[in-house]
Structure formats: C-alpha cells, structure tokens
Amino acid sequence: MRLFVICALLLLKVTLGDACASGKFTESGQCCSLCPAGFGVEVECGKEDTKCTPCPQGTFSSSEGLGPCLPCAKCPLSVPMWASCSATQDTQCECDSGFFFLSNHGLCASCSKCSRGEGVIQDCGPQGNRLCQICGPGTFSEELVSTKPCQTCTQCSDSEVEIRACMPNSDTLCMDKKLHILSRPALDVPGGTRDVPLLPGVETVTQEGDTGSAPGTPKFTPQDDGGSNNILAYVSVLAAVVLGLLVYVAYKCWRSCKQKRALSKARAAELGTSPEGEKLQSDSGVFLDSHSIQDNQPSKGTKRDSKQDNRLYINLPPHRQEEVERLLQEGGGRGWRQLGAALGYEPEQLDLFGRGEAPAHTLLSNWAQKEGSTLGLLCSALARIERPDVVTALNCPAQGVSVV
C-alpha cells in the first residue's frame, strides 16, 4: 500500500511538471513562479514561492526566468548608441552594415549567414545577430550563403509533370509533358483511333501493296548508327580539350617555377650570398635590405636607431586601411590571426573575429579603439610576424634591425 502511494505521488508530480513552466516546485509541491521581464529573483524558490524585485537602474531582464537582473552593456568608442538600456532591454549599439553588437564582449562582430536549406527568420541589426531556421514543408533555399527567408516551392502546371519534389535545399523540378522520348502515332482501328508507342527502330507501314501485314502495322527497321557516331565524336573532342588543358597547366607551372628559380639566383647574386644562405636568413626572422648592405657594408653588425611612429592607426586614410586589411587577409600562415596574437588578443577573441567575412577589418577596427593604438606599435607587431610588405603599405619609418 505504501509503495502504491509513493508511485501515485511521483506520477502526480511528473504530470504537474509538464504544466509547470519553471520546472521547479516548493517543498509543499507548488509550482515555482517565473519572474517577468524587467524583474529579477530576490529570493529563490524553496520553502516558499519565488520572490521577484524590479531591476534597478543599470540592469535589465529581457524575458521571464529565475535569474537575477543583468548589467547593461556599454557601446565601445566611436560606436553610436541606437537605444539606451531599460529594465526590459539591454543597450542597443548601432554597428556598421554587416555587423552587430555583441554585448558579452563589448564589440561589433560580423553577422552570420544562413547556409543552403535555411532561411532568415530575424535579420542582423541592432537587435542582434541573424537567426536562421531550416526551411519547412513547401519552402526552400538554394543559395549556399543566404541572407533571405525561405522561398515558396514552385507548383508544376497542368502541362508539366513533376520529376523531383521540392526539398529544403532545392526547388521543385518540372518538365513539359510534350518532351517525350517515345512518340505515340494514332492508328486507325475499327471503332475509332488508338495510340500505340513507337519505339526507336520501328516505323509504321501504311502501303496497301505489302503482303502479310495490315495497313498501319508497326514494322522493325534497322536502327540508324548516326547517333552512336555522333556520341563517339563528342567524346573524342572532349578528351582532346581536357588533354590540352592539362598540358597547358603543366607548361604554366613549369614556366612559373623556372622564373622563380631565376629570380632567386639573381637576388642571391645581388646580396652576395647563395640561395641556401638566403633561405637561412629568411628562416631566422631577419629581413635584409640589399641597398643598405651595399651602401653601408662596414656597419654590418651595428644597430640603427629609428624614431617611434606615434601616429594613430585610426587616422590613416580609408584606402590605406583597406590595403593593409587586404594584405593581412591574404597572408595565409602569417596573416591577421598571427598579428592579433602579437597585439595581445586571446585565441577565443580571434576565433570570434574569424567567424565573420572580414576578420582583418574586425581585428584592426577593434584594436584602433584602444588607447595607444599607434602605427609604431602596429609596425613592431608586423615585424615580429615577418610581414615587411604590410609595414611598407603603412609607410612606417625604417626600423633598426640587428644583423647577426
């Protein structure tokens, strides 16, 4: 009997748990209440029900829950505020087009994009990142990178036949009913006409003089070999084109390698070193200027002093910033991610920048808002990751390099 009572109580609690929004109960079995938007938990649910208190100034709670009020975010420098913080809504910052404000990190991040088979249900903007959802029945999205909602599937007309149904990642595929592989000529029969299929290699005999066959009787004829010959000709031409392309690509690769070797030998002769010595110098991280070596050969083991460039990166012309971002984006193994590590960014922040379309722009824009973001510091970081081409694009003063 006691076991039966315990089972009944457990069953009652499970049944009530489905209807309890919070999923928690007091000691007396009462469902714990949720704090509404604009309120936070003052006393957690336990012996008694949940006690809520309004969010004080500088905090907010945007939805019902059992948590405390959260502190309001602050817009970063040079990012205008779109809407101030209230008890039910966090601070809204107006980032550039293609970016949204990430309150947890206090920066503008690149908007996400929906993949194939997904549609946008909330566009990227001040309210947050773009939200995607898999296209439901009757809708589709064929774009590999989509920024639009799911489209309605096409319905085949009466003169068409459906050969593939609509799927989340592709539209309905229809074909005109008149495009038949087999034709159906009408034959005169007693009581009316009748359609019979006419297969390849079959022709209809209608001459009255043929014996042993009635008018309109199908008769087999030898199949025309022209189609087979045409297919063989097309395959031969296609094979010749592919072979020609392969030969052309191999020739270009060979010529490019030959030019690179000639250029390497010329540079080695200009510097007075062998190609192996040049490779060792590049691996050691020391950048040699051939003109300075030729003009100042005696001072080979000395250091040259240079002034620190105190210009701010944010004051560079836009076209110069775009050129620097492009070089870092195309840097491969020594690109924007290595520069971010040299500037002191954590791997988690760099992974966050890498989710967008222009991580180099996001990195430099975020770093430019910090105090002391001078070209001198940026050029030093670029020198540490061995990117003299970007230093040249920034037009930094010549940095002193110790030649060992």
Are 328 and 389 in contact, with CB atoms under 8 Å apart? no
Half-sphere exposure of 245 (CA within 13 A, CB side): 6
Write the pLDDT tens digit of every residue in 245-268: 999 999 989 888 887 787 777 666
Other CB atoms closer than 10 Å to residue 314's CB: what's the count? 15
Evaluate the CA torsion angle 327, 331, 334, 335 in order and state its sign: positive
Structure tokens at 160: 């068409």
Other CB atoms closer than 10 Å to residue 35's CB: what's the count? 24
Per-residue confidence (pLDDT) for residue 259, from 0 to 100: 79
Q: Which of 9, 109, 124 is nearest to 353 (CA)?
A: 109
Cα–Cα dist 299/215, whole Å: 109
Per-residue confidence (pLDDT) for residue 145, from 0 to 100: 80
Cα 211 to chain centroid distance, Å, stands at: 73
How far apart are the two ends of the chain, measured CA to CA in Å? Answer: 91
Per-residue confidence (pLDDT) for residue 336, from 0 to 100: 85
Per-residue confidence (pLDDT) for residue 76, from 0 to 100: 81
Mention every residue, 6+ apart, whose C-beta is less than 8 A from residue 135: 117, 118, 119, 141, 150, 168, 169
Helices (H), 272-369: 275-283, 290-295, 318-329, 336-342, 347-353, 359-368
Q: Report all structural domains of the chain as residue ranges with CATH numbers, in order of start.
A: 2-71 (2.10.50.10), 81-110 (no CATH), 111-179 (2.10.50.10), 307-348+358-404 (1.10.533.10)
Are 76 and 107 in contact, with CB atoms under 8 Å apart? yes
**Burial state string for 210-246 with b = 16 or more CB within 10 A and e = fewer than 16:** eeeeeeeebeeeeeeeeeeeeeeeeeeeeeeeeeeee
Per-residue confidence (pLDDT) for residue 192, from 0 to 100: 52
Cα–Cα dist 85/66, whole Å: 21
Q: Write out residues in the chain with pLDDT < 50, as ranges.
A: 5-6, 9, 16-17, 181-189, 193, 195-224, 272-306, 399-404
Cα–Cα dist 70/60, whole Å: 5
Cα–Cα dist 274/264, whole Å: 9
DSSP H/E element including 37 = none
Rounded to the nearest 10 degrees, what angle do helices 318-329 and 359-368 cross at? 130
Per-residue confidence (pLDDT) for residue 3, from 0 to 100: 55
How do beta strands 202-205 and 217-220 pair? antiparallel
Q: Which of 121, 128, 66 is nearest to 99 (CA)?
A: 128
Per-residue confidence (pLDDT) for residue 47, from 0 to 100: 82
∠ CA 224-227-233, nearest 5°, is 135
Cα–Cα dist 88/91, whole Å: 10
**Beta-ladder partners of 107:** 102
Per-residue confidence (pLDDT) for residue 266, from 0 to 100: 63
Cα–Cα dist 381/233, whole Å: 61
Residue corresponding to tokens 């996400």: 112
Cα 231 to chain centroid distance, Å, stands at: 41
Residue 58, CA distances (Å) to 20, 55, 68, 85, 127 in order: 31, 8, 13, 7, 19
Q: Is the pTM of this model over 0.75?
A: no
Residue type, 352: L
Residue corresponding to tokens 């970007």: 390
Helices (H), 206-356: 226-271, 275-283, 290-295, 318-329, 336-342, 347-353
